[in-house]
Amino acid sequence: MIYLDNAATTFPKPQSVRRAAANSVMTMANPGRSGHRPAMAAGEMIYRCRVKASEFFGAGSVENVIFTPGCTYSANMVIKGLLKSGDHAVVSDMEHNAVMRPMHTMSEKGVAYTIARTGETDDETLASFRDALRSNTRLVICTHVSNVWGQRLPVERIAALCRQYGIPVMTDAAQSAGVFPINAEENGIDFICAPAHKGLYGTMGTGILIARHPELLKTITEGGTGSGSLSLSQPDFPPDKFESGTPNVPGIAALSAGLDFVKQTGVERIHDHEVKLVTYLYDRLSKMSSITLYTPRPNAMRNGGLLSFNVGNLSSEETAAYLFEKGIAVRAGLHCSPLAHRRYGTEKRGAVRISTSYFNTMNEMESAARAISMIAR
């Protein structure tokens, strides 16, 4: 099988990640509650992972790294922990339902929001965000890279704009963490939500919230933290404030090894490799008359390693099924991002998404191109 569904989760994982997860299961216990060796080993591993993540994302402090069950949960923590009735928020028209559904829920609780249209250029996108700001805007959300179309949005410039007005900025780095450099401190981003299991090569069910201003967030979950146990009130300091219950030790161990893998390989090298692969495929597909490509040719500055297309009059799901018959694993449909599909007129049909990782090769792209050309005949 040629796996080209890495935007859903990277596969395979590096050997070091598999080993780290297995090792944690064999040697570690519940951290932060006991003094025996397996518990202390887990606590030490988690702390080391926090240090790595803090450096990787420019969190400013290890306490600002919060482990979560996933990027979606991280986004919920920010949206529901920060906004209240009477507030206004701005989101891009490329947001995943990880953002749009909690925003919709908050809209039923008196929060208004505006969808800023992304433009053909970063200047146009920035202007849309500027126009959408109101005096009661309390949060601006912009995905870093579209999970459908692969374009990078100018989050850094949007953050600079919002800084002028003192408005916190959250970015969904689901498709960019480990593929594009992103640094909360340097880029002035207040909250970065990221999954562990995509570009960071960890395992599913693990995520991160980088909260440069954790004091702005209320909790959305309370419970045991191993600290201040006499009190029925949740601890008021991070990370304990946001990390109730037993942490996902194997997931964090895998993330820690994944961060090492990405750092050793190099974010730039990973990005260049992935963009090269999708650009090759794009060029091959653009010569096939029955293929519809919706976005411009990828370029390194503006694209991650994914692209979406359709074949003739086939539904995207039919194309994906045909491709899997030929041993190519892709994702079709709406990718949980109806807004992004509406932007390009594919909200009814969906699209076929091909997404790469560092482990994909040019030969695999050639095989995918051949398989698509057979369907496109």
Partner 1 sequence: MRLERRKNGFGIAAKSLTEAMKMKDIFAKNGIGTTLVRTPNSGKGCGYSLYIKAPDVKKAHDIMRRSGYSPGGEI
Residue numbers at the binding site for partner 1 (CB under 8 A): 31-35, 40, 43-44, 47, 50-51, 62-63, 225-231, 235, 237, 239-240
Q: Minimum distance between the CB of residue 239 and partner 1, rounded to whole angstroms? A: 6
Q: Minimum distance between the CB of residue 178 and partner 1, rounded to whole angstroms? A: 24
Q: Minimum distance between the CB of residue 306 and partner 1, rounded to whole angstroms? A: 35
Determine which helix (DSSP H) or strand (DSSP E) holds 55, and give its type and residue range. Answer: helix 37-57
Question: Where do the DSSP E strands lie in 73-214?
Answer: 88-92, 112-116, 137-143, 169-172, 191-195, 207-211
By beta-carbon proximity to partner 1, the closer residue of 64 and 143 is: 64
Query: Per the structure block, which two tokens stand in for 265?
Result: 């390989």
Q: Minimum distance between the CB of residue 188 and partner 1, rounded to whole angstroms? A: 23
Q: Minimum distance between the CB of residue 213 and partner 1, rounded to whole angstroms? A: 17
Instruction: Give per-residue burial for 246-285: e unless 16+ CB within 10 Å, then b.
Output: ebbbbbbbbbbbbbbbbeeeebeebbebbbbbbbbbbebb
For the beta carbon of residue 20, count every other beta carbon within 10 angstroms: 25
Tell me the residue type at 252. Answer: I
Q: Minimum distance between the CB of residue 221 and partner 1, rounded to whole angstroms? A: 17
Q: How far from each other are the two terminal CA atoms of the chain, in whole angstroms?
A: 22
By beta-carbon proximity to partner 1, the closer residue of 27 and 30 is: 30
By beta-carbon proximity to partner 1, the closer residue of 217 and 328 is: 217
Which residues on adjacent β-strands are paired with residue 90? Answer: 114, 140
Residues in the chain: 377
Q: Minimum distance between the CB of residue 238 and partner 1, rounded to whole angstroms? A: 8
By beta-carbon proximity to partner 1, the closer residue of 13 and 50 is: 50
By beta-carbon proximity to partner 1, the closer residue of 54 and 125 is: 54
Of the candidates 179, 99, 200, the one whose C-alpha atom is nearest the C-alpha of residue 143 is 99
By beta-carbon proximity to partner 1, the closer residue of 49 and 277 is: 49
Which residues on adjacent β-strands are paired with residue 115? Answer: 91
By beta-carbon proximity to partner 1, the closer residue of 62 and 220 is: 62
